[in-house]
Amino acid sequence: MSRKIIVTCAVTGSADTVARNPAVPVTPEQIARSAIEAANAGAAVVHVHVRDPKTGKASMESALYAETAERIRGSNIDVVLNLTTGPGARLKPGIDDPLTPQDGTWYVSPHQRVAHILALRPEICSLDVATMNSGGVRSDSMFLNSPGHLRVMAEAIRDAGVKPELEVFEPGHILLAREMIEHGLIEEPPFFQLCLGVEWGTPATPQAMEFMSRLLPPGAQWAAFGIARQSFPMAAQSVLLGGHVRVGLEDNLYLDRGMLAPSNAALVEKATKLVELLGESVASPDEARAMMGLAPR
């Protein structure tokens, strides 16, 4: 029998990609429509960021999350809604005075980062178990998630009855997540997302994915993705290793070499074909819920 594969679509992300592909959705209406199209194409889960409709830049505005979630939930399509908690963890410490941040810092309290989760109660939200450098040697930027901040966020997410998707970018992040599970901050079964190829994180290679997958706790469900040109090779590798799949315009702007993706739905369609070519089948939203320990809709 074939194995059921959960396909997640990461709809828009927070990187400065709007000018690089006109298909990247910006407004709540565009993001919701793109998420619904992705669900119709076979995605069981849609992973959602929001953007400032005027600038296209990443946003944490609660009203934008609320409108986007309402539009998705108000549609006739069944899909698992996954809202991000990633924005607000960007720190650029000063050179002469490290306690005075440089321009470009976007660092807020853990309570602020989960406020929309408590208000909207999606079925899933991401939780980045990650502290890592960002940018080249001339950059002072870092993505900062201290264990204390993660504890506050995890407790709030747990108490709200929301499932955290544990985004991990390095092997050590998995070990920290396992400790959080052991301390009851994350309810079982955990759901991990292996994020590969992100700058200064674990590279997008089969060997790296296999190593990280072997560190996961028994019984964990997991997915993986690679960014840019490694998106579909890593999708295939994840299926072969027993994981699930994530694609979308957050991670990759191209459908094929030199061909911009016309939509998130097109990326999902390619992913579902890949799953089927490998002899497996695509999970429905309710099948995804059962695997992740979520209540049926």
Greater pLDDT, 280 or 2:
280
Question: How do beta strands 106-107 and 50-51 pair?
Answer: unpaired
Percent of the chain with pLDDT over 90: 96
**140: pLDDT strictly greater than 90:** no
Number of domains in the chain: 1
Range of the domain at 164: 4-292
Q: Is the dihedral of CA 15, 20, 21, 22 positive or negative?
A: positive
- Binned at pLDDT 50, 70 and 90, residue 161 comes out as very high
State the Cα–Cα distance between residues 54 and 279, nearest whole angstrom: 44
User: Residue 287 falls within a domain, yes or no?
Assistant: yes
For residue 16, what are the contacts with CB-CB under 8 A and spacing of at least 6? 56, 57
User: Residue 182 falls within a domain, yes or no?
Assistant: yes
* DSSP assigned state of 113: H
Identify residue 107 by its one-letter amino acid code: Y
User: Residue 297 falls within a domain, yes or no?
Assistant: no
pLDDT in tens, 4-56: 999 999 999 999 999 999 999 999 999 999 999 999 999 999 999 999 999 99
**118-145 average pLDDT score:** 93
User: Residue 148 falls within a domain, yes or no?
Assistant: yes
User: Residue 207 falls within a domain, yes or no?
Assistant: yes
pLDDT at res. 53: 98
* DSSP assigned state of 12: S
State the Cα–Cα distance between residues 77 and 151, nearest whole angstrom: 34
Question: How do beta strands 221-226 and 132-134 pair?
Answer: unpaired
**120-135 average pLDDT score:** 95
State the Cα–Cα distance between residues 49 and 58, nearest whole angstrom: 8
φ/ψ of residue 14, rounded to 5: -125, 0
- The enclosing domain of 73 has a CATH number of 3.20.20.70
User: Residue 14 falls within a domain, yes or no?
Assistant: yes
pLDDT in tens, 215-251: 999 999 999 999 999 999 999 999 999 999 999 999 9
- Following DSSP, what letter does each residue of 123-149 receive, concatenated? SEEEEE---EEES-TT--EEE---HHH
- Binned at pLDDT 50, 70 and 90, residue 73 comes out as very high
User: Residue 236 falls within a domain, yes or no?
Assistant: yes
The whole model's pTM is what?
A: 0.96
Please count the other Cβ atoms lying within 10 Å of the Cβ belonging to residue 72: 22
